[in-house]
Structure 1
Amino acid sequence: MLRRSVILYLAWMACGAQAADALPSLKVDPSLVPPSQRPAKTGAAKPAAASKQPAATGGAAAPAETPAAASGVEVFPVATPGQPAAEAPVAVEAAPAPAPAAAPTSTPASVPAPALKAAPASVRQAAPAVSPAAPATTSNARNLPPLKVDRSLVKAPPGGRTVPPTAQAALDEAPPYRNVTTARNMPPLKVDRSLMGTPPVARRRVPAGQTGETVIAGTPAAQEADVTGALPPQVPEDDETRMLKGAITLSEYVERHPESRATLIAADQLDGTTDAVMRAEGAAELRRATTSLTADSIVYEPPTDELRAQGNVRLVRGEDVVEGPSLRYQLTRSEGVFDKPRYTVRRNLQTGENLRTTTGRGEADVMEFLGENRIRMENATYSTCGPENQDWYAQVDTLNLDFESEEGEGRNGKIIFKGVPVLYSPWLDFSLNNRRKSGFLTPTFGVTNRTGIDLLLPYYWNIAPNMDATIGLRVLGTRGLMFSSEFRYLQEDYAGKVRLDYLPSDRVADRDRYAFSLQHAHQFNQRLMGALNINSVSDRNYYTDLGARLAITSLSYLPREGSLTYSGDWWQLSAKATDYQTLANLPDIYRLLPSVTFNALRSDLPGGLVFSTLANYTDFRIDDVTRDQGRRAVVYPQLSLPMRNSYMFITPKVGVHLSNYDLDRGTANAAQSTSLSRSIPIFSLDAGTVFERDSDLFGQGFIQTFEPRMYYVLSTYKDQSKYPVFDSALAD
C-alpha cells in the first residue's frame, strides 16, 4: 500500500495542471498513520460537498479531492502554476485519536491544517526545503526528490511483533507481484526450538504517549500501551551457552561447552515439537555432555528425558561403549535397557596408591543400566582380555557389575579357557579393579597313597590394604582334618609372612603334627636392615607324609636364620647366625654361630684401577663329635684393570687369598693340627667380544648376537688335604 501511494503521488505531480481533472483523488490508508498522529474527533460534522474547478491550460489548478479531517490524516496541497506553494512541512505527528476514525469526507482546501510538531533531527535533515516563490511546473515536479517515509510512523504488524530492518529492506526491494499460489502450497517450516535458544531480546522499551516517558514492557504501566499493538512483553536474558552459532557439529559444541546440560539432536530428517516428542530419522545422533548416541532412528521425549533408538545403536557413556539393535534409555537417571548388546566398560579405579584402568568386554542378551555405575546383564559373558587375545572368559546366567563397590557378581556361571570349561560355580564373586577382596578361593583336590583323599577349601580374608590372611580346612582321608593358615603384613619399613599348618591326632602317626614358618625383613634406617627366616616342623618326615607339592616333599634342611646388615658408601658389613633342621634322616650340617662378612669395592682409583676385597669370619658348630669344628678367617684382596670398548672387553686381575683356621678336631681327626693357614696368589684374565647382525625369521626382524668369551685363572699349587670342609657338600 505504501509503495502504490508513492507511485500515484509522483505521477500526479508529473502531469501538472493539464491532467488534474483526469487523476483520481489521492487515497491514504488511515491504518498507516499511527494513532498518535490522528487528529481529535470534533463532533458529528456532516460531510461537505467536494469542490471542483475546471482545469485551464496555463491557469491555476484547483486542489485535488482530499479525505475528511476526521480520518486523522492531513493532506498537503501541491503548488500549481500561478499559485504560490504552501510551506512544506518536515513531518506530521498528530495526537492519538481515542475514538475510531469517521468515514472519509471531502474537505475544502480552505480548511486549516492542525498543529504540526517537528520530526526528529535525522528526518528533519533529510527533508528538502521548497521555496515559496518557485512555481511547481511539470519539469519541477520531475526534479523533486523521491518521497521519504518515516518508518516510525508505520503501524506495527498485528500481534505486537516488529519487522526486523533486514526483512523490511527485502520487502521494499521486492517486485510488486507475488506468486501467491506457490507460497500457499509450500509445506510448513519446522524448526527445532531447542537449537535456537531464548529470543535475542532481553528488555524492550515502549513510548508512554506524548509525555515522553519510558515504560518497561511487561510492567503494569506498559499493559495500557500494549493495547495498541506495541511490543512483546519482557523476556529473560539469552543463554549464550545453549545457542548454536554458525556451522558447528554436535561434537564441537560438547567440547566447547562441557558443562552444558543441553540435549542436541541431528539427523537427515527431524520432526516433532520440543515440548512433546522429537523424531530423528537417518544417521540420527543425540548428544549430551557425557553421553553420545547414534542410531538409524531416535525418538526423544523432552518432558520425560526418555528416548528410544532403533538400528545400529551405539551408546557411549564416558569411556563405556555399548552397541546393539535397540535401546530404551532415560538420560537424567542413566537408566535403560539394551537388547543383545556388545559392550566394553572401562573405569579408572584406585588400587592402593596406584590408579589402575580396568576394562571388561563381552556380550549379553539383555543389559540393564541401573545408574551411572551399576549394570545388570542376563546370559552374559565377561572377560578382561583384549579383543584380539580373549583366552578366558566367564559365562553366567546373571551378571552384576557394581563400580561403586568395585565388585562383580555372577550366578550359575562357568570359567572357559581356550574354549574349554574349566570351572563351574553356582556363585562367582570377583573384583573389578584387581584389588584383593574377601571370599573363597579355588579349591584343590587330589588323591595320594599316604593321605587318601586330599581336599583343601581356602578362604581369603582381606583384613586391610596392607594385611591379609588365608584360612583353609584340609581334609585328609586317612589322617584327619588339618587347619591351615597364612598371614601376610606390609608396612613402610618392614614386611613379613607367617604360616602355620596343624594336624591334631594324626590317625596314622598317632601324634599331633605341625609346620611353622616365619619370614620377616626390617629396614631400620637407610643403612641398617635386619631379617629373620625361621622354619620348623614337628618331625623329620612331616613333608614326606603330608607335603602336597614336589618342592615341599624334596626339602632336606630347614634354615633358621637371623641377620643384620650395615651399608656404607663403598663397603658393607653383615653378621648372621644360621641353624638348620635336618629332614628325612639326612646327616646334620654345620651351624654358623656367627658369621661376619666384610665387602668393599672402589672403582675410582687412578688409571682406571678397581680395588675389591672380601673378608669373612665364621664359627662352625655341629653336634657330631666325630667331625671337626672351629673358626675360620678369610681375606681376599683384588686389583683389576677393566678395559672396554663398543665391541670387546679385557679385564686382567691379580689377588691373594689368605685364610687361617683355629680348629677343634673331632675323634676322626684327633691327630691333625688344630691351627692352619695358607696364602695363595691368583691371577685371572677375562676377555670377550660381541658380534651382531640384523636377521629375519618368519617375517619378524631381530638382532642376532654371537659373544665368545675367554676366562683364564692361574694360581699356585697348595696341598689342602688337612683342611676341613665346612661350607661345601654333595648336592641333594
Structure 2
Amino acid sequence: MRLSLRLLPLTLAIWTALPAYAEDKIPINWKRCPIEDAVPVFKDPQPTGDDTKVKRNTLPTTLEGDEQFGTIDIPIFSGEVNLNRGNQFLGTDKLTFNKNDNTYVAEGHVRYQDANLRVVAERAHGNQDTDEHTIEDMRYQLVSRRGNGIADKIDIKGDLGEMHGATYSTCPPDARHWQLEAREIDINNEEGMGVARGAKLRIGRVPVLYLPFFAFPVDGRRRTGLLYPSISTTGRNGLDYKQPIYLNLAPNYDLTLYPRIMSKRGGALGAEFRYLNAAGEGTIAGNYMPDDKLRNRSRGSFVFNGYQNLSQHWQARAGLVWLSDPRYLEDFNNSSAGIANYNVLSSVGVYGNGRFWNAGIMADRYQLADYTLTNASLPYDRMPRLYFNWDQPLGSLFRVGIDAEAVRFSHQSYRPLLAGGALGATTDIPGGSRLDLKPFISMEVERDAWYVRPTVAWRHTSYQLDSKLADQMALGNATRYAAETGTAVTPALVARYRAANPTRNLPILSLDTGLYFDRAFKFRDTAYTQTLEPRLFYLHVPYENQDALPIFDTNALSFSWGQLFRDNRYSSADRQADANQITAAISSRVLRQNDGHEVLNVSFGQIHYLSDARVRLPWENTIEKGASAYVADANWSPNDRWQFGASMQWNPKIKRRDLASARGRYLFGDGGIVNLAYRYRRDLLEQADFSFVYPISNAWSIVGRHYYSLKDNKAIETLGGFQYDSCCIAIRVVGRRYIATREGDLKNGIMLEFELKGLGSAGQDTKRTLRRAILGYHRDDLYLIPPETATGQTVSDPDPTTLP
C-alpha cells in the first residue's frame, strides 16, 4: 500500500524536466511561507522499516487497535488502529480486515504516511496481496519538499497510480496564489513517468493555461522535455524568444538545445552538453547563427570548461573559448560586461599539488574581442608554460624553497589599421623563451608578541629570443641611447646592444619584523580587545640595467597595501625592481570578545626609499625616490547591520591623492540593503555607485542602482524596478539603461520574470541581473570572497544561451 512519490509529478508539471544550473542560481526563498504544513505531522508512532529493495506484497503486515470484535476471519478493529508494512503507516478509527483475501476497509480519520507523502482522508480500501489500494476524499502533503493539494481519489496498483480530481500547489491552503488542477493523472512509478489529462493552471482564481494532455516525470530523475521559455524585447535584438529543449541522454550526461528567434537578427541554435564521471566533469556549450541580418554574416561561439582528476595529486583542466568575430561579446551579451573585456583567454593544462609543492604544465591563447583593436594589442600566448613551486620547513627555524618557471612566448600576427579603416599587410610579432629560477631560504623566529623573518633569495632569469626580436630590441635601445647622448645611431651601436640570450642574476634580501600588543577594555558594558601591530619591512635588491630584457607578460602592479611588503613591484619576471627601502606600517583592530566580531580595523603605511629605484618599464616616466604614497585603510562595523570602509593613497610628492574610495552598507529587515560607494583613481576614473533593495511591505520591495562616472559626467548603468515575493509566487519587473557599445551608447531594456515557486519561472532571469548589480541582493554573497582573476579576460556571462 505504498504511495511514495505518487503526487510528486505535479511539482514538475507543464512538460518540464528542470535540470539544475547550480553555479549561478539562488535557492528558492520560502521564508514567507508558514511553518505549518497543510497536513500536520501525525502523532502516531511511525514504522522505521525499509521496503525499497524488496517487493511490498512480500513484507509482513502488522495490525493493532484499541478494541477488536467481529469474527476470526473478518476481525474489526476500532479506536487507535495502526496498520504497518515496511516503512508505511496507515492509521484510522475503524478498520475491517478480511483474512481470507487480505483485503481491508478503513473508515474515519484515515491517516497515511511513508517517506515522501502524508495523507488524511475519509475512506480507504485495498488488497494487500495484489497491492491494489484506493484512497478517497484526501488531502496530501509532500514530506521531502514543498507541495500539497487535494484529490477526489487515487487508485493504486503496484507501481501504477491514477489520481482523479487532483490539485497541487506550493502555497498554503488558505492563500492559494496559484494552483494546478487535473481531471485525471496516470502514474507509472517504476518508469518514473506520468500523464495528466484535462490540466488547468490558475493564478488566484483566474485560469491562465489549459493543457488537454501532457507527460511529465514523477520523481527526481531527469527527463527529456521542454524547459520554460524566455521571452524579451530589446532595441538591439527586437522580440527575442528562446525555447530550451532538455535531452536526458544518460545518467551521467545530458544535452540542452536552445533554439532562439530574434526578430531583428534572425534564428540561432545554442547547445550545452554536460558530462560527469568518477574523476571529473565538464561542459561544452556553443551557439550558431547562420545569418545575422544586422551583420550580414554567420555568427557563433564555442566554450569548453572541465577538469579530470588524474591521480591524488594531479588534475587536468581546460577552459577554451572561441568567438566567430570581435563584435560577438558586444552584440550578444545582455549587459555592459560585453564591452568590459577586449579579449578572451583559452587555457589547457595539467596541474599538481602536494603538501609543500605545486606544479603545472599549461598552454594559453588569447582571442581578440574588441573590433576597435587589432591582434597587436593582444598579450603574448604562452605555448607552453611550465612552473614548479616548493616551500618546506627545514627544522624548527628555517624554510627553504624555489619558484621556477619556463615559458615559450609566441604572438599572433596582425594587420595594422590604415587611414580610412583599411587593413595593411600582415605583420609578424616575434617571441622567445624565458627561464626564471628563484631559490630562497627564510628564517622564522616568532614569539607571542613579536616576530622576525629574514629571507635571502637569488633570482636567475635567462632568455632565448627570436632573431627578429633581438634585432628590434637592439635598434630600440640604440635609438634611445643616441637620443639621450646626442649621438648618431650606427651599426656598431646597434650591434653593441644586440643580445639574443640575455640573462639577469640578482640577490634579493628582505627582513620582515613586527610587534603585537593588545589590551582589553569595556565600552557601554561590552568587552572588547584592541590590538596594536607595528611592522617594519626592509628590502634590498641591487640595481642592474635590464633594458636588454624583453617585455613579454610584465606590468607594474597597482600600488596597494599588499605592495608595501612585496619584493617586486612588477607582475612577472621580465623586470625585477631594484630596491633599498624600508616600509613602516601600523595596524590596529578592535574585536568584540563574546563572538570575535571585528568592529574596527585601521592600517597606515609608507615605503621610504633609501636609494632611488631606477628600474622601470619603457612606458614608465617616473623613478621611485624619496617616499611612496601614504596608504591608509579603515573599516568600521559597529554591528551586523552597518558597515563602513575607506581607503586612501596620498602622494606627498605632488600633494595629491592617487587613489580614494569610500563605501557604506546598511542591512535592514529580512532582505533590505543600501549600498553606497565612491571610487577615484587619479587620471583614470571617478565613479559613484548607489544601489538598494527597499522593502515597502512584507511582500513588496523596490530595487534600484545608479552607477555614474563623475569623470565622464555619464551614467554607466541605471536600474530600477519592483518585485513581489510572497510565499509561493514572485513577480519582478526591472527597467535598465546601460552602456552597451564600445562607443558608449546607452541601451534601454525591460526585464520581466514570473515565478511560481516549486513549479518554475517564465521570462528573463532578473534575479541574476539584480544579484550582480546590487551587492547583497542575495545575502549569502556578502560573505563570499570572489576569486581573483589574474588576467580579467574571461567571458563575463556564464549563461550558455546568451554567451559562452
Give TM-score, length-normalised by structure 2.
Answer: 0.48
Distance in 1 (CA, whole Å) between partners of 2:408 and 2:311 is 28
1:705 pairs with 597, 618, 626, which one? Answer: 597
- Residue in 2 that maps onto 1:609: 398
Distance in 2 (CA, whole Å) between partners of 1:569 and 1:278 is 71
Distance in 1 (CA, whole Å) between partners of 2:330 and 2:519 is 50
Equivalent residues of 1:565, 1:575 under 8 A apart: yes
How far 1:391 moved relative to its partner? 12
Q: More strand per residue: 1 or 2?
A: 2
**Bigger shift: 599-608 or 563-572?**
563-572
Answer yes or no: is 1:656 the counterpart of 2:453. Answer: no
The one-letter amino acid of 2:453's match is P
Equivalent residues of 1:438, 1:461 under 8 A apart: yes
1:330 pairs with 110, 120, 127, which one? Answer: 127
Q: After superposition, where does 1:16-35 map in structure 2 within 5 Å?
A: none
Equivalent residues of 1:367, 1:375 under 8 A apart: no
Residues 491-515 of structure 1, C-alpha deviations (whole Å, 9 max, x = no match)? 3455433222111122221111221
Residues 296-331 of structure 1, C-alpha deviations (whole Å, 9 max, x = no match)? 233344444333333221134577542223323333
Given the superposition, is the C-alpha separation of residues 615 and 288 from structure 1 closer, same or farther in structure 2, using an over 3 Å criterion? closer
Three-state SS of the structure 2 residue aligned to 1:671 is helix
How far 1:637 moved relative to its partner? 3.4
- Residue in 2 that maps onto 1:21: none
The one-letter amino acid of 1:267's match is D
Distance in 2 (CA, whole Å) between partners of 1:568 and 1:294 is 58
- Count the aligned residue pairs: 459
Percent of aligned pairs sharing the same letter: 19
Answer yes or no: is 1:634 the counterpart of 2:420. Answer: no
1:274 pairs with 48, 72, 80, which one? Answer: 72
Distance in 2 (CA, whole Å) between partners of 1:704 and 1:410 is 56
Answer yes or no: is 1:589 the counterpart of 2:374. Answer: no
The one-letter amino acid of 1:703's match is D
**Bigger shift: 473-482 or 527-536?**
527-536
Distance in 2 (CA, whole Å) between partners of 1:250 and 1:578 is 63
Answer yes or no: is 1:502 the counterpart of 2:275. Answer: no
Answer yes or no: is 1:299 the counterpart of 2:127. Answer: no
- Residue in 2 that maps onto 1:339: 136
Give TM-score, length-normalised by structure 1.
Answer: 0.52
Q: After superposition, where does 1:38-53 map in structure 2 within 5 Å?
A: none
Q: After superposition, where does 1:445-524 map in structure 2 within 5 Å?
A: 445-493=231-279, 495-524=281-310
Given the superposition, is the C-alpha separation of residues 547 and 316 from structure 1 closer, same or farther in structure 2, using an over 3 Å criterion? closer
The one-letter amino acid of 1:637's match is P
Given the superposition, is the C-alpha separation of residues 493 and 480 from structure 1 closer, same or farther in structure 2, using an over 3 Å criterion? same
Give structure 2 stretches of 5+ with no counterpart. 1-43, 51-56, 415-426, 481-496, 528-592, 621-788, 795-804
Given the superposition, is the C-alpha separation of residues 634 and 568 from structure 1 closer, same or farther in structure 2, using an over 3 Å criterion? same
- Residue in 2 that maps onto 1:598: 387
Given the superposition, is the C-alpha separation of residues 599 and 497 from structure 1 closer, same or farther in structure 2, using an over 3 Å criterion? same
Given the superposition, is the C-alpha separation of residues 654 and 455 from structure 1 closer, same or farther in structure 2, using an over 3 Å criterion? same
Answer yes or no: is 1:671 the counterpart of 2:479. Answer: yes
The one-letter amino acid of 2:333's match is G
Distance in 2 (CA, whole Å) between partners of 1:420 and 1:611 is 74
Answer yes or no: is 1:721 the counterpart of 2:616. Answer: yes
- Residue in 2 that maps onto 1:563: 349
The one-letter amino acid of 2:406's match is Y
Equivalent residues of 1:687, 1:710 under 8 A apart: no
Equivalent residues of 1:655, 1:681 under 8 A apart: yes
Equivalent residues of 2:139, 2:151 under 8 A apart: no
Answer yes or no: is 1:575 the counterpart of 2:361. Answer: yes
Distance in 1 (CA, whole Å) between partners of 2:116 and 2:214 is 25
Distance in 1 (CA, whole Å) between partners of 2:112 and 2:478 is 89
Given the superposition, is the C-alpha separation of residues 313 and 264 from structure 1 closer, same or farther in structure 2, using an over 3 Å criterion? same
Given the superposition, is the C-alpha separation of residues 570 and 482 from structure 1 closer, same or farther in structure 2, using an over 3 Å criterion? same
Residues 355-375 of structure 1, C-alpha deviations (whole Å, 9 max, x = no match)? xxx557522132414134444
How far 1:404 moved relative to its partner? 1.7
Equivalent residues of 2:453, 2:512 under 8 A apart: yes
Q: After superposition, where does 1:16-415 map in structure 2 within 5 Å?
A: 261=60, 264-268=63-67, 270-275=68-73, 277-286=74-83, 292-316=89-113, 320-344=117-141, 361-382=147-168, 395-397=180-182, 398-407=184-193, 410=196, 412=199, 414=201
How far 1:722 moved relative to its partner? 4.5
Distance in 2 (CA, whole Å) between partners of 1:250 and 1:728 is 59
Three-state SS of the structure 2 residue aligned to 1:342 is strand
Residues 233-280 of structure 1, C-alpha deviations (whole Å, 9 max, x = no match)? xxxxxxxxxxxxxxxx9999x99xx98746635334x433234x5444
Residues 522-550 of structure 1, C-alpha deviations (whole Å, 9 max, x = no match)? 44555554444332122111222233465
Three-state SS of the structure 2 residue aligned to 1:543 is helix
Distance in 1 (CA, whole Å) between partners of 2:398 and 2:526 is 38
Distance in 2 (CA, whole Å) between partners of 1:637 and 1:250 is 69
Given the superposition, is the C-alpha separation of residues 644 and 331 from structure 1 closer, same or farther in structure 2, using an over 3 Å criterion? farther
Given the superposition, is the C-alpha separation of residues 304 and 730 from structure 1 closer, same or farther in structure 2, using an over 3 Å criterion? closer
2:510 pairs with 665, 672, 682, which one? Answer: 682
Distance in 2 (CA, whole Å) between partners of 1:656 and 1:363 is 72
The one-letter amino acid of 2:509's match is P
Three-state SS of the structure 1 residue aligned to 2:331 is helix
The one-letter amino acid of 1:516's match is F
Given the superposition, is the C-alpha separation of residues 379 and 529 from structure 1 closer, same or farther in structure 2, using an over 3 Å criterion? same
How far 1:464 moved relative to its partner? 1.4
Equivalent residues of 2:366, 2:381 under 8 A apart: no
Distance in 1 (CA, whole Å) between partners of 2:205 and 2:326 is 42
Three-state SS of the structure 1 residue aligned to 2:615 is coil
Three-state SS of the structure 2 residue aligned to 1:607 is coil
Distance in 2 (CA, whole Å) between partners of 1:653 and 1:341 is 77
Distance in 2 (CA, whole Å) between partners of 1:682 and 1:422 is 75
The one-letter amino acid of 1:322's match is V
Looking at CA atoms only, which structure, 1 or 2, has the larger radius of gyration? 1
How far 1:479 moved relative to its partner? 1.7
The one-letter amino acid of 2:71's match is T
How far 1:589 moved relative to its partner? 2.0
Residues 671-711 of structure 1, C-alpha deviations (whole Å, 9 max, x = no match)? 35564736343333477799999999xxxx98233396979
Three-state SS of the structure 2 residue aligned to 1:295 is strand
Residues 68-107 of structure 1, C-alpha deviations (whole Å, 9 max, x = no match)? xxxxxxxxxxxxxxxxxxxxxxxxxxxxxxxxxxxxxxxx
Distance in 1 (CA, whole Å) between partners of 2:317 and 2:365 is 14
Q: After superposition, where does 1:518-557 map in structure 2 within 5 Å?
A: 518-526=304-312, 529-548=315-334, 551=337, 554-557=340-343
Equivalent residues of 1:650, 1:686 under 8 A apart: yes
Distance in 2 (CA, whole Å) between partners of 1:396 and 1:333 is 30
Three-state SS of the structure 2 residue aligned to 1:450 is coil
Distance in 1 (CA, whole Å) between partners of 2:216 and 2:451 is 56
The one-letter amino acid of 2:596's match is Q
Given the superposition, is the C-alpha separation of residues 642 and 710 from structure 1 closer, same or farther in structure 2, using an over 3 Å criterion? farther
The one-letter amino acid of 2:135's match is F
Three-state SS of the structure 1 residue aligned to 2:254 is strand
The one-letter amino acid of 1:607's match is S
The one-letter amino acid of 1:654's match is T
How far 1:581 moved relative to its partner? 0.8
Given the superposition, is the C-alpha separation of residues 382 and 702 from structure 1 closer, same or farther in structure 2, using an over 3 Å criterion? farther
